[in-house]
Structure 1
Amino acid sequence: MAKVSFPFKKTNKSLFLSSTSAVTQDSLYWKKLGLPVLVKEYGAIDYLDFCPVEPYYFAATCSVRVQIYDPITKVVAKNLSQFVQGAYGASFRRDGRLLVAGSEEAVVKLFDVQSKNVLRVFTGHTGPVHRTYFTKDQTKVLSCSDDKSVGIWDIATEARIASFSEHTDYVRAGATSPISPEIILSGGYDNTLKLYDCRSNETVLTVNHGEPVESTLFLPSGGIFISAGGTEVKVWDIFNGGKLLSCISQHHKTVTSLRLSSNNSRLISASLDRHLKIYDISTFNVVHNIDFPNAILSMAISDNDDILAVGMVDGVISISKREHSKTKKTVEKKGIYKFAADVVPNANVDITVTKTRIAKEPKMDKCLRKLEYTRALSNALKNSEKYPIRAAALLQELLKRNVLHPAMSGLDDYQIRMLFIFTRKHLGDAKFNRTIIDVLNVIVDVFGNQIHQLSKDNQFLYENIAKKVNDEIEVCKSVSELEGAISLLLSGAQAGSAASSLDLNETLAPSTKALKEIVIDV
């Protein structure tokens, strides 16, 4: 009868490998932003805005001044300090020649960027002005104030040509329409966003965000605007009566700033949770995430995404510059030797023989192939400190073949010690926990009745493992109690939404039961 041979299957280590996030074009693109340069200012960074024209300076509003930075040298190019009290929300005009800023003094100031002179002072608000913007035609200024009003100012006459007092709380966010100089948007701490038509001086649309509004912007089409407040970012359709198109909840603290990037195909949100998240406008899915050392108050990005500036609560500005790959010019080097006329160059050779490197098979796989299970286990335990995944994979394979009992029975005193050390070290590790629990059951079966015959060191390790198993059971109990408390809180806060609570019992119950069985056996 002919002998049938089956191909040997290598030990599967992929079960214990850490999961890694998929590499996408967006992640590669945003990772090209170089290491950030940190600049310390005197106070929290209230607002950042990039000049739309070269050399793309950016204005940082903090304390009682507006600092205009050169993003290349990371130094202050101009300093606008004509403020008696705090300055807020400085933004550039589209041509980069003028800059407007609000202040704690309840006035709006217009600056000539080149000369740093104050050209206009718009008075009329009775509270601090936190946000200021130029309208589409660049001849008027929008202001949002803590006196619960929104003002429109004419630059030429320095007069207030429109005023809206529809909000019932501070107005800390606003935007001007990209398609019409007469349409403006405001967001207040009364949770509402209001769209105004300056031609009729009326509120044409009101929507409720549900949280105090911190930032808002229009999409380039002008028919959709986005608001940020609390932990949510919401997308609204103007032409459909303010219909909510999407609600994005990716942050766990207040979202403070919104910006568009990548030719208006990406939305960026910054939050007090220290995260900056980038979304695809078409799907509003997160495509990349950037972490920062402190809570973010403001954020801005230049054209072509070349410079990213992030302002934090501790007065630090993080400036990241995109690294452009330099085109490498191939330089032909002149060789010392030349081919003779009768010598064939390498380029004309038909076949090139390359030396293939054969992957070396691990010793434990060699032993498994020969059905030497104790020897395979010994080799895996010998390098378990350096290659824990390899040792766990072998233990899993031996359990699957139902040969771990005889493999353990053949171990000597030193190898038993290595086995005990490995199981004690990785008990509680999420990657290895299921395998370690099964291995502990086998340890109890093999060594439980003859533990007194082992060395004192191994007896001590065995008792130590039992103690750690008890500790793990107590941890599981505490987590289960915490899950119950969280469920009660969620039920009280959101009646009828019990399905949103975390169901940890289903995950923890099998592990807790298995651990209890081991303790009973020990």
Structure 2
Amino acid sequence: MSSFKPLNTKKYLKTGKVVTPDTVYWRQLSVPTLVKEFGAIDYVDFSPIEPHYFAVTCSVRVQIYNPITKLVVKNLSRFQETAYGGTFRQDGRLLVAGDEQGLVKLFDPSSKNVLRLFKGHKGPVHRAQFTHDLLHIASFSDDRSIKLWDISTEKAILTFAEHEDYVRAGAVNPMSPDTLVSGAYDGKIKMYDTRTQQISFSIDHGSPVESLLFLPTGGIFISAGGTEMRIWDAFAGCRLLTKVSQHHKTITSLRLGSNGRRILSGSLDRHVKIFDVSTYQTVHTLDFPNAVLSLGVAPGDQTVVAGMVDGLISIQNREIERKKEDGKPKRSQHKNQHFSSVQIDHEIREPLQAKLANYDNYLRKYEYVKCLDAVMMPAIARFHPEVTISVMQELIHRKGLHRALAGRSHNFLSRLITFISRYIGENRFMRVMIDVVSALLDVYTPKFHEFTGELGKDFIRLAGVLEREVSLTYDLLELQGCLELLECASSGTNQIDEMIRFVKEDKDQLKQSTQAKESSILTV
């Protein structure tokens, strides 16, 4: 006797998350190691030279960590008040930081000595950066000014005071030592040319600017403020290229990753979004336990560090799979290797009989009532609805659904109506659910007058669900008609009247097809 073929339920499996190369790449980061500091983490910056130590600015010090051991190797504590924005020079030999007193201090990270002390700001200096020529420092202060310092003479050679509020963000063009960009809490972004000592451009971000970042080519820079990032073309008069809004709270930090091919943005919503530079689309998201204030990425994405508002530092290193030397799997060694396997000419194996599920056994015996009962159990209907839908579709094909629905108890009908109401709106189940509703109405329409209490309310609830689905279908058809009209108008064709007629005909046909079933339910 031939074996019974089990019911195929794979056609209704949910589509999983799309796994992209970026998803695989960023998931190689290890489980975060959390380090607790004494205050909010203001700034994180990586040294560009190996072993790529990173500086963490918090409270009244700048601490330099080893990314492998996660331990502090240097402690720069020559601050009397809060320190801000500790940043390495491009050659990794010097570090600059501002403080609450308005001072800018230049450190030798190897000896922890203060090499230069720049005085001139009248407010806290939150950001300071080295220029491309390594000879100057640009500082951005709450006194609404930007100063350019000469490292050798320890004097300010330029001062710009064009903002109307605190200057909390700044960037130096990575390809030109003469171009600076500043962002302030007045929402303005200003570009300066140190050769002419004048403002090149002034643009409006629309929100207080928290961070600025140049792309490696120097022709495009990104501003972050509020929940939005804006991308500007510096070579075309700071023309706005696009806006990106993927966070639902303030963006606090911007960083480059993957050798300039990815942009990372940290936000108070506890997420770090990773964007593709070519499309500005989100390719991955990193989650953290608290609001992210600062972000650092090591060269080659070997380490990602996030500083949070509660003083936690999250350190994630990239896990690299080690390949075997010969590239071949090692053979298992047995104690009794002299017992080799017996060589045979042909092996005949008896096929194993696959164990059938309960609903398959009931389908095999044509017991449709028990089959439907088996798949309406909460363990299947709630967690594996595709199995229930597959059985219902098989019963429809066998013309046994009416028999399976007839003579049911009020409890079963209530569970069935709940199941229909939950899944009739899903595209993958909609066609089968419509046939099930039709069969249910065909069986129980003559008995509507007998339904009282909770069962009557369930049928009224089902009627409401169907009304909403019909209304949604009308709205979508109207939207489709509008889009088709716009498409015709943009292409210059004269088919608008014909498209309106087609839309009206579609709506009339849908109304006629649903009116009969809807009216029978609404009479309850």
TM-score of the alignment, normalized to the shorter chain, above 0.5: yes
Distance change in 2, residues 1:76/1:357 (3 Å): farther
Aligned to 2:299: 303
1:390 and 2:387 are equivalent in the alignment:
yes
Contact 2:256/2:263, CA 8 A, preserved across alignment? yes
- How far apart, CA to CA, are the structure 2 residues paired with 1:275 and 1:249? 13
Distance change in 2, residues 1:373/1:276 (3 Å): same
Distance change in 2, residues 1:194/1:403 (3 Å): same
Q: Secondary structure at the match of 1:390?
A: helix
1:39-54 aligned at under 5 Å gives the runs: 39-54=35-50
Deviation by residue 1:139-175 (Cα, 9 ceiling, x = unmatched): 2111111111111111111100111112222211111
Q: Deviation at 1:27? A: 0.1
Residue ranges of structure 1 left out of the alignment (5+ in a row): 1-6, 477-505
- How far apart, CA to CA, are the structure 1 residues paired with 2:333 and 2:6? 52
Aligned to 1:170: 166
- Residue 407 of structure 1, aligned match among 380, 393, 404: 404
Q: Secondary structure at the match of 1:384?
A: helix
* Greater mean alpha carbon deviation, residues 158-167 or residues 353-362: 353-362
Q: TM-score, normalised by structure 1?
A: 0.77
Contact 1:100/1:133, CA 8 A, preserved across alignment? yes
- Residue 97 of structure 1, aligned match among 90, 93, 116: 93
Deviation by residue 1:416-437 (Cα, 9 ceiling, x = unmatched): 7456446547854675996778
Distance change in 2, residues 1:140/1:260 (3 Å): same
Q: Secondary structure at the match of 2:50?
A: coil
- How far apart, CA to CA, are the structure 1 residues paired with 2:393 and 2:313? 50
Q: Deviation at 1:327? A: 2.2
Contact 1:444/1:521, CA 8 A, preserved across alignment? no
1:368-379 aligned at under 5 Å gives the runs: 368=363, 372-379=367-374
- How far apart, CA to CA, are the structure 2 residues paired with 1:515 and 1:306? 62
Aligned to 1:328: 324
1:67-106 aligned at under 5 Å gives the runs: 67-106=63-102
Question: Which one-letter code corresponds to 1:395 in the other structure?
Answer: M
Distance change in 2, residues 1:405/1:252 (3 Å): same
* Greater mean alpha carbon deviation, residues 400-409 or residues 175-184: 400-409
Aligned to 2:146: 150
Distance change in 2, residues 1:215/1:352 (3 Å): farther
- How far apart, CA to CA, are the structure 1 residues paired with 2:58 and 2:520? 61
Q: TM-score, normalised by structure 2?
A: 0.77
- How far apart, CA to CA, are the structure 2 residues paired with 1:405 and 1:289? 49
Q: Secondary structure at the match of 2:236?
A: coil
Distance change in 2, residues 1:345/1:408 (3 Å): closer
Seq. identity, %: 46
Question: Which one-letter code corresponds to 2:374 in the other structure?
Answer: N
Question: Which one-letter code corresponds to 2:390 in the other structure?
Answer: A
Distance change in 2, residues 1:60/1:471 (3 Å): farther
Contact 2:188/2:205, CA 8 A, preserved across alignment? yes
- Residue 265 of structure 1, aligned match among 253, 261, 266: 261
What is the CA RMSD across the aligned residues, in angstroms?
4.0
1:420-439 aligned at under 5 Å gives the runs: 420-421=414-415, 423-424=417-418, 427-428=421-422
Q: Deviation at 1:236? A: 1.5
Q: Deviation at 1:298? A: 1.0
Q: Deviation at 1:370? A: 6.8
Deviation by residue 1:320-347 (Cα, 9 ceiling, x = unmatched): 111111223555666666779xx9997x
Aligned to 1:313: 309
Deviation by residue 1:209-238 (Cα, 9 ceiling, x = unmatched): 222221111111111111112222122212
Aligned to 2:54: 58
